[in-house]
Amino acid sequence: MSEPARVLHARLHLLDRQVVRESDDRLLCKVDDLEVQPGDRPYVTAILSGPLALGPRLGGLPGWLMTETGPPRSGGRSGPGRTASR
């Protein structure tokens, strides 16, 4: 039987925290926003990072400046960095 999912308060436990690679404890990024699957029991489907994820969360002029004037994404991709959950 599978274990129940861990319940977290996103703003308290996830946002603005460092993402660390388990194999070598290397810091990869900060959690700037979350992609959430809605429903009776919403769950996090991906961690979003970078100015394109943080800007909308900040809002106002600072948020707009982050999303509109941030550095271009490598490989021609648009949108925030995305790390999918397993």
pLDDT score of 4 more than 90? no
Q: Beta strand 18-21 with 26-30: parallel, antiparallel or unpaired?
A: antiparallel
Residue 4 lies in a domain: no
Residue 41 lies in a domain: yes
Residue 2 lies in a domain: no
Query: What is the pLDDT at residue 17?
Result: 93
Which is higher by pLDDT, 71 or 48? 48
The radius of gyration of the chain from alpha carbons, rounded to an integer in Å, stands at 15
Give residue 44's pLDDT band: very low, low, confident or very high (50, 70, 90): confident
Domain coverage including residue 17:
10-84
* pLDDT (tens digit per residue) in 16-34: 999 999 999 999 899 999 9
Mean pLDDT over residues 47-62, rounded?
90
Residue 3 lies in a domain: no
Query: Taking a C-beta distance cutoff of 8 angstroms, is the pair 42, 9 a contact?
Result: no
Residue 29 lies in a domain: yes
Q: Distance between alpha carbon 19 and the CA centroid of its chain, in Å?
A: 10
Q: Distance between alpha carbon 43 and the CA centroid of its chain, in Å?
A: 13
Domain count of the chain?
1
Residue 1 lies in a domain: no
